[in-house]
Amino acid sequence: MSKQPDQHTFRRIGDQLRGLAVGLSAGTLSEEEFVAELLRIDARKLRPYGLTLSVSQTPDDWTAVVMKHSHSHQLCAAFEFQPEKRRVRPFRFLYQYPLRARVNTLAMAA
C-alpha cells in the first residue's frame, strides 16, 4: 500500500515540475536533462505515493504536464508550457479529471 502524501508534498512536487519546465524554456536544462529529471522525480517522489506523471502534447502544440493519483485519477498538479516560446499556462482540460480538494494551483499558474 502506498503512503498518504500531504498537501505540502503535492505543492513541492508540482513546484519542482514547473521549475523544470521553466529551466527547459530558459535553456538552463537540455531536453535530455529535462526528461532524465522527470523520470527521477517519477521514480523517487511519485510512485511511492501512488501518483502518476504524464507529459503529452496538446492539439495546439503545448506540452501538458499532469500529476495525478494512479487509481482514482484525481488531479494533484497540472500545467502546460511551450519551451521554445518560454510560456507557461494553466492546464486547460481540468474537466477530464476528478479533482482533489486542493489542486496545486501554483504549478498551474502562468
Closest C-alpha to 26, from 79, 106, 78, 87: 87
pLDDT tens, position by position, 78-104:
888 898 888 888 776 655 555 555 555
Q: What is the pLDDT of residue 1?
A: 46
Q: What angle do CA 71, 44, 90 make, to 5 degrees?
A: 65
Q: Are 53 and 107 in contact (CB under 8 A)?
A: no
Task: For residues 69 and 88, give the distance between their C-alpha atoms in angstroms, rounded to a whole number.
Answer: 23
Q: Taking the domains of the chain in order of start, what are their residue ranges?
A: 7-108
CB 4 within 8 A of CB 68: no
The SS3 assignment for 91 reads coil
What pLDDT sits at residue 109? 41
Give me the torsion for CA of 7, 10, 15, 21, rounded to 10°: -160
pTM of the full structure: 0.74
pLDDT digits (tens, 9 = 90+) for 19-59: 999 999 899 999 999 999 999 999 998 998 888 999 988 88
Q: What is the pLDDT of residue 4?
A: 64
Q: Given a cut of 50, is residue 63 above it in pLDDT?
A: yes
